[in-house]
Structure formats: structure tokens, C-alpha cells
Structure 1
Amino acid sequence: MMDIRPYDPARDDLAEIVALVHRAFAEYRGVLKPESGALSETVESLAKRLEKNRLFLAEEVGKFRGAVFATRKGDAVYLDRLSVDPEARGRGIAKRLIEVVERHARETGAVRVTLGVRLALSQNISFFQRLGFVETGRQAHAGFYAPTSMDMEKRFIQ
């Protein structure tokens, strides 16, 4: 049975979460320009992220299957580093993690969830669109002149 829950520093090993993030983003190594920052995450960088971010985990029989960060930014919660173990894909874990972030956003008074997705990842863009996210803009990473990522949001009905 899959358990979706907040990170608990008393029981959750950041090294295991880093390994999950690396497995989830490994397929993009050499594909994305610039390379995804997820591939350079460390225990120290995740610990720093946790100072200002919430982390939600998908756990199954003691093994992390998914993770996502949620950061309050103004009237929004920013969804970041959505990671699903390649061995567990196709089982709705990403959707469930996004739903948890949406619930967290509503509970904390946010009016929308925002995220960034690489333009090269058309399947990911389509996935977010199916969940109700719409494009709000495009950005170019440092050193690039053309856009490399898309900003998306999902607003809540007031």
C-alpha cells in the first residue's frame, strides 16, 4: 500500500531521498541543456531546501517511491523536484503527490500551485495540462537566449 505523507526528520533518511531524486532524473542526463539541478542534489542541499520548503513522500513497504517539494511564494505554492522512482512509474504516484501539494496549498491559503517544466519534456507538459495546469510564461536559463522552460499554474476556484 502506498502512503503519501510529509517528510519526518526523525524517521526519513535524506540520503535515500537524494538517491530517489537522482534515479528519477537520471533519464534526463545529457538530454536537458542545461542539465537538471536535481542531478546535483546532495544530502546537504536537500537539508537546506527543507529549511524553507515542505517535502512530501510516497512510501511503499519502507521504500521511497516518490517525492515532491512545496514552497510558499506569495499567493502560490511552488511545486518542485517532482520525483518518481522509475520502477514505480505508471501507478499514479506523481498525480497523488501533486494532489497532496494542492491540498497543502489550499490549507495554507494559497490560491494557486505553480511549477516550471522544461520545454524539451513535452510528455511532462502534457501530463501537467491534463491535471489542469496552464502555461503562464517561458524562461531562458542563464546563458541561453531562447526559452528552455515553461511556467505553469493551476488556480483554485474561489
Structure 2
Amino acid sequence: MNSPFRVVRLDGPGRLPEALDAIHRGFAQYRDRLVPPSAALNETTDSLARRLLDGAVLLAEDATGVVLGAVCAEIRADMVYLDRLAVPPASRGRGVASTLVAAVEAFAAEAGARSVTLGVRLALPGNIAMFERLGYRESKRTAHPGFSEPTSMSMVKVLSARLL
């Protein structure tokens, strides 16, 4: 079965405004809900351009080129950090997020990484459950600066030998 969308790895700054828009729309629901606030809402095209230097920015788009979601991937030693996974509300429920995660895993394998890691807020159990369904497991809990109790967890997925 053909997917109704495809994933594109950006190779320059031309489509960064579209990635930024998807990230801002995807994280907008958390404005004034998450404490501390999500830094995703502070992303700019300049900050995304820096992410191109250390990894990748990927877009999911439909057949007409309309952006359905975005994600960033940063190479860190022998692992890749998945960040800013964003699917705006109108595009949810279609497998966009899981397809973007799979694209990051493929990018990681191509880069020779042994695992993919990410951070997720404890206040977002639906996001945690989605990553668990995709094979990610909790590796540790951390507190944002100024907090005494954990506010987020790190999750990791070891890439299988067949991907390496």
C-alpha cells in the first residue's frame, strides 16, 4: 500500500519556514499548558538552520507538497537525538508521527548510530505511550532547571543489527 505522504530531508534553508510553521502549529496546544514552557515555540528559521549542520530536518508532506509534520535529528557521538517531532492537529491520526520517527531511525542507521534517543514531558502521557508503541523505552527521568521533581523522561531505542 502506498503512503498518502512522503518524507523529505531538507538539504538547505529554502523550506525551513515550512518546517518552522509545522513545529509552531504542532506545539501550539502546549502554550500556557506546560511548565516550564516548551522551547519548541521559540524555534526560528536560524535555529533550524543550525540543526541542519548537526543532523537533519525532515518534513512529511502530501502529494501536493503540503507539509503535514516535521522532526529534527541531531547526531551525537554514536546516537541520534530525535527532537521537535511536530504534527499539527489537522494532520494527526494518519501515521505522520510514526513515519517521521521511522525516517529519523533510518537517518540514524545511515549515520552509523547505535540508538535513537529523545526527551518527552511527563505531563504528556499520550506522547509517552506513542513512543513506547514505537519501541522506545524509558532510560532516565530529569528535572528542568528550577524544578526539584522530574518533569521529563529520556527514552531510547536501540537500533537492530539489521538496520546497522
When the two structures are superposed, what TM-score results if normalisation uses the length of structure 1? Answer: 0.94
What is aligned with 1:48? Answer: 50
Residue 130 of structure 2 is aligned with which of 123, 127, 131?
127
Residue aligning to 2:65: 62
> Structure 1 or 2: larger helix share?
2
* Equivalent of 1:108 in 105, 108, 111: 111
Shift of 1:157: 2.7
Report what 1:149 is aligned to: 152
What code does the residue aligned with 1:93 have? V
| TM-aligned CA deviation for residue 63 of structure 1 | 1.4
Check conservation: 2:57, 2:73, Cα contact below 8 A: yes
Which secondary structure state, in structure 2, belongs to the residue aligned with residue 109 of structure 1? coil
User: What is the rounded CA distance, in whole Å, between the counterparts of 1:78 and 1:24 in structure 2?
Assistant: 19
Any idea what SS the aligned residue of 1:51 has? helix
SS class of match (2:46): helix
Identity in percent: 49
Tell me the distance in 1 between the aligned counterparts of 2:116 and 2:140.
14
Instruction: Give per-residue Cα distances to partners, 1:10-34, cap 9 Å, x unaligned.
Output: 7x43222211111000011111111
Shift of 1:50: 2.0
Does the aligned pair in 1 maintain the 2:51–2:74 contact within 8 Å? no
* Aligned residue among 17, 20, 34 for 2:19: 17
Q: Distance in 1 between matches of 2:135 and 2:21?
A: 30
- Equivalent residue, structure 1, for 2:82: 79
How far the C-alpha of 1:156 sits from its partner, in A, is 1.9
Deviation at 1:145, TM superposition (A): 0.9
- Unaligned runs of 5+ residues in structure 2 are none
Q: Secondary structure at the match of 1:94?
A: helix
Q: Which residue of 2 aligns with 1:98?
A: 101
CA distance in 2, matches of 1:43, 1:101: 20
The one of 126, 138, 143 equivalent to 1:140 is 143
Cα separation, 1, equivalents of 2:109 and 2:68? 25
Partner in structure 1 of residue 36 of structure 2: 34
Equivalent-residue separation in structure 2 for 1:109 and 1:8 (angstroms): 19
Q: Does 1:4 align with 2:13?
A: no
> Number of matched residues?
157
CA RMSD of aligned residues (A): 1.3
Question: TM-score by structure 2 length?
Answer: 0.91
